[in-house]
Amino acid sequence: MNIYLIRHGRQCSKLCNVNVDLAEEGYHQAALLGERLVPACIDAVYSSNLLRAVQTAEAANLYWNTDHIIRPELREISFGDMEGMADEDIAVRFADFKKQQDLMKEDIPYPGGESAGDVIVRALPVFEEIAASGFNNVAVVTHGGVIRSMISHFLGMEPYQYRLLGNTLENCSITQIVWNKDKQRFTMERFNDYAHLEPFPQLLRSSWVDAEN
C-alpha cells in the first residue's frame, strides 16, 4: 500500500497554527498536486479537520474524485502558547525554549502544547486504520509537524529527532511511505517531493516565510 503524506497548501495567514482558509496560492498548489497524483489512482483521501487541510484535500480531490475522510487526530502539533503569534515575536518570547529544543536531547512539548511523542500517540491509530483498510493508494493531507513526527516513528528514530527531517516541508509536497503487510512495517520511499511546484517559485515557502517553529 502506498500512502502519500501531503502537507496542506499555503494558508492565508502567517500567524502560528491559526485555523484559516487557504490562500489563492494554496489552491494553485493543491491543483498542481492533484494533477501530479492522477497516475497514482488514489483510492481515498484522508485529512485533518483544520480548514487548510480540508480545503487542500477538496481541491486536489477534484482530480481524483474519491472518498474524503476527515480525522481530527491528523491535526497539526499543538504549539500551545505560541499559537496565533507572529514568528518574530515567538523568536523573542520563546528564545530559551527554542534553544533547549534545538539541543534535541529530549522530546519536550511546546509550552502549553504537545510534543512529537504526543502527536505520534494520537495519529498512529489513523495510520493503522489506513493500513487495514484494503486500499492500494491513499493520500493523507496533514501538517508538517505530523509528517515529520510520524516519519521519525516509522524510521525508528527518537521522537525529538523529528527536527532532523528537513528544516521545512514545502506546502503540498509529497512524502511517500509504503505499508508492507507481510513484514508489518512502513518504509519511506520519498520525502518532501515538490517537483510539481518548482516551475512556480512564487509557490515555494522561500518566497513566503523565513522560519518555522
In order of their start, the domains of the chain are 2-207 (3.40.50.1240)
The CB density around residue 126, as the number of other CB atoms within 10 Å, is: 20
- What tens digit of pLDDT does each residue of 97-155 get? 999 999 999 999 999 999 999 999 999 999 999 999 999 999 999 999 999 999 999 99
Indicate whether 213 pLDDT > 80: no
Going by the DSSP 8-state scheme, the letter that residue 175 receives in this structure is E
Q: Which of 31-35, 103-107, 193-197 has the lowest mean pLDDT?
A: 103-107
Contact status, residue 131 vs residue 179, Cβ threshold 8 Å: yes
Determine if the pTM surpasses 0.85. yes
Report percent pLDDT > 70 for the chain.
100
Q: Which of 24-38, 68-82, 113-127, 197-211 has the lowest mean pLDDT?
A: 197-211
pLDDT score, position 208:
87
Residue 209: band (very low, low, confident or very high) from pLDDT cuts 50, 70, 90? confident
pLDDT score, position 141:
98
Measured between alpha carbons, how far is 156 from 162 in angstroms, rounded to an integer? 11
Average pLDDT of the chain, as a whole number: 96
Residue in the structure block whose three cell numbers are 509529497: 174
